[in-house]
Structure 1
């Protein structure tokens, strides 16, 4: 399914919008996928950047009964039901506002004794539904995509990842202290992400500007995992003026 196998993939389509426009614009792109396939499969990202999209989707009258959703990642080490686990974040931001059947929203299982087996099973589940039609993405300050930190393989699959100090500090605001932030996670790999039919990256805020510039204008390199966007061919980037300030 990946457009990343193209000899000359099209450059990411960049739209610079006012903050208030990003949610509705992103929702429009996701809803287009609903009309293109009877049972669309949507990949979802957590974090502050995609939140306006989920708010906008909740405001629509769309029928989500036949949709399937896959999360990009999940923390390892948090107890079930922890409010900052991505399972709980998705419950608050997507499942309940959109009226989804919880069984239609999937995350890699961080509570399995064999974490790599959990990752392999997650890959198999994505394959079993025919792949992801639209993958929603954010971008980390260090250029990470999902929780693929700098230095990893550009063709990686779903796996256990060690979170960098920068990523943990960026996420500290959701926890009581830095010590409370998990050190490990399960994440879709860059190779997994590139197999989605379409990628939708949302970038908001001045702190994302250097990473967005490296992702879109720099070399394709493990130093900036998000630079793999250049390899796909069907990428839309919605950025506010602050995030796009260095482009």
Structure 2
């Protein structure tokens, strides 16, 4: 598989991960992960942070133990600037805001997280970039790196990420929900969604390592670009 490599040097590799690919192997070794593919290419690869399987965008892996230690400390010490872009359900009341709510593993639902006072401190800033009525296009900056953080925090404020099956309704984005008079093409038996996966993208990453500043941006994938194009077209 051809990878979209954003940076490749002696210390680390930064990749624009496609949606639908695991960052690292799961417990069942059910399918090849991005880390598996990178190990084939570079032999030695260390996990620094992760993206959810259905989240696209920038992820960094270290190539040696010392870099792994340094990068891990940067992430844990909140010295990495992380911006995400996401399509959320509904219109947010405030154009800007912060969600400061601790997150822990859900006591009953395996594989999911929940807001709880006994959880780990979690902070997400958000800013609405565009409003489309039933959806909003939002930029997020996360200051902590909890599992599913943006997904849990957007659910907490009543505006889950579009197409999120765990924390939202999981419903795809359809043109028929945007366009008042929508008719299926004669060849179509059912409408094809313009977005059918988690509407979240890790857009940019900034950090300093070994006296050098690094800044990466991952372009939006085709499905999210197409969704925004349709939302702008049928806005209002």
**Which TM-score applies when normalising by structure 2?**
0.31
Q: Kindly indicate which of the two structures has a greater share of residues assigned to strand.
A: 2
Q: Based on CA coordinates, which of the two structures has the bigger radius of gyration?
A: 2
Q: Which has the higher helix share?
A: 1
